[in-house]
A and B are shown apart, each in its own frame.
Chain A
Amino acid sequence: KQEVTQIPAALSVPEGENLVLNCSFTDSAIYNLQWFRQDPGKGLTSLLLIQSSQREQTSGRLNASLDKSSGRSTLYIAASQPGDSATYLCAVRRGTSYDKVIFGPGTSLSVIP
């Protein structure tokens, strides 16, 4: 059974720091992995999607990497800003035949001005 964990559960950093959020999964047979952000009381906003054949994806100050063999993905945020404060979730998709996504519990990020 696929399990997805995210460490740390919460992170507080000063503005301007580069930071890394971690996502681990137990079954390396994944189809793709997606990173989301969620602001308090809101829905999820898609940040990056990495297919199983890819090693990384970049969007602006965000870079996500995927290492299937070790069961890990990292989300790198460069030059953090207070507006980056949110909960970040990763979600692992097992395949296309059964469209089921396993979500991690999230990392709550606070960027201090």
Chain B
Amino acid sequence: DVKVTQSSRYLVKRTGEKVFLECVQDMDHENMFWYRQDPGLGLRLIYFSYDVKMKEKGDIPEGYSVSREKKERFSLILESASTNQTSMYLCASSLWRGHEQFFGPGTRLTVL
């Protein structure tokens, strides 16, 4: 079974802090994704990566950056957290472009 894990289930940070969200997949998938999910707005794509050291902006990249130094790990970075970044963050991976996506359990981030 594909397994996608995220470093934290719940996280509370203060405004202005630098925040790292980690995602690891164990199935040698090429593609990895970061989404945020908000009530009434659904899932929105922040960034995705086709391969190591490659990244592409999604719909809402502002205020975020990503890092993919190893194939299995995709990190989402909030350089200076703000209250409007309070959300559920979901990581996903897929074997190749167009293949089905598998999601991690999510990280609920609260920025105070």
Residues of A in contact with B (beta carbons under 8 Å apart): 31-32, 34, 36, 41-46, 49, 89, 91, 93, 95-97, 99-101, 103-106
Contacts and interface: CB of A to CB of B under 8 A. Distances in A.
Interface string B18-47: 000000000000010100000000110100
Query: Interface size for chain B: under 10, 10 to 19, 20 to 34, or 35 or more residues?
Result: 20 to 34
Contacts of B43: 89, 103
A40 to B, nearest CB: 11
B98 A99 contact: yes
B61 interface: no
Contacts of A104: 42
18 contacts: A34-B100, A36-B103, A41-B106, A41-B108, A43-B104, A44-B90, A44-B92, A44-B103, A46-B102, A46-B103, A49-B100, A93-B98, A95-B98, A99-B31, A99-B50, A99-B97, A101-B45, A105-B42
Nearest to A32: B98
A43 B90 contact: yes
Interface string B75-112: 00000000000001010101011101111111010000
A43 B31 contact: no
